[in-house]
Amino acid sequence: MLRPRITPCLLIRNGGLVKTQQFSNDKYVGDPINAVKIFNEKAVDELIIIDIDATRLGSDPNYALIQRLANEARMPICYGGGIKTSAQAEKIIKMGVEKVALSSALFVNPELISELAKALGSQSVVGVLDVKKSLFKGYSIFIENGVKKIPGKLSEWVTTFQDFGIGEILINSIDRDGMQAGYDLELVKGITGCLNVPSTFLGGAGSLSDIKKLIAQRGLGGCAAGSLFVFKGKYRAVLINYPKFAEKIDLIELGLAEYNSNVRK
């Protein structure tokens, strides 16, 4: 039976695990290898791991760290950060990583998607769209840690990437990043109709209830979160966590039941 994926998202800076708020105010939260070991024990569905400085600094992917992460992980990994060429992506996949995530490179050369889909299979190519709500113009896409705005509509870029053969799209709300105030369900509702490939939403989850609301809004798909799975309590104490299997299944079934009820109305 197909079920929504519930995926922790880990951010890497200078080799350490950090968490941001609206793409700034990053807080060091530990060693990424230790985090992967804990998530192994908790049997997470998948891990998204993003080096948030590689592209901004013009660095190549940190292959040594990627290899260590891949060797340690007992779940599928999606890795992003600094990937600009097909050769870099292929090298990362050969290390045992299941998916590569690209952002800035897609806007420089959308044809890279087709190249990667042919070499790796479209299921291994993920497009990351970091978006921020505009006052009058819907949602705008930003790259390089939210610094550089990309011209054009979100829906148009989604269509473009799908036409080039992207296998999955991750949509991340900059406004909600690290705020733990719930997903931007307006964003989810507005863009879901344009999506015809597997997709994941990230940004804003502060509780498992927020994940249930996202599932109730869209049904199947990915639900990713950062702060929810690395902090605990209102004082944001660092604690790697993830729902137990039975709790996760109950959460998913409740969300899907609400989604199906809404569809029938």
Cα–Cα distance measured from residue 243 to residue 28, given in angstroms and rounded to the nearest whole number:
23
pLDDT at 234: 81
Tokens of 163: 């036409």
Burial 219-246 (b: 16+ CB within 10 A, else e): bebbbbbbbbbbbeeeeeeeebebbeee
- Where on the phi/psi map is residue 81: left (φ > 0), alpha (ψ -120 to 50), or beta? left
Angle made by CA atoms 229, 230, 236, in degrees to the nearest 5: 115
Q: Where are the domains of the chain?
A: 5-264
Condensed to tens digits (0 to 9), the pLDDT of residues 42-90 reads: 999 999 999 999 988 889 999 999 999 999 999 999 999 999 999 999 9
pLDDT (0 to 100) of residue 118:
96
3-state class of 222 per DSSP?
A: strand
Q: Fill in the DSSP letter of residue 59.
A: P
Question: How does DSSP assign 144-175, residue by residue?
Answer: TTTTEEEPS-HHHHHHHHHHTT-SEEEEEETT
Amino acid of residue 15 = G
Q: What is the assigned CATH class of domain 5-264?
A: alpha beta
Count CA atoms within 13 Å of residue 164 on its CB side.
21
Structure-block tokens of residue 174: 């900059």
Q: Which residues of the chain have pLDDT under 70?
A: 1
Residues recognised as catalytic: 130
- Residue 1 pLDDT: 58
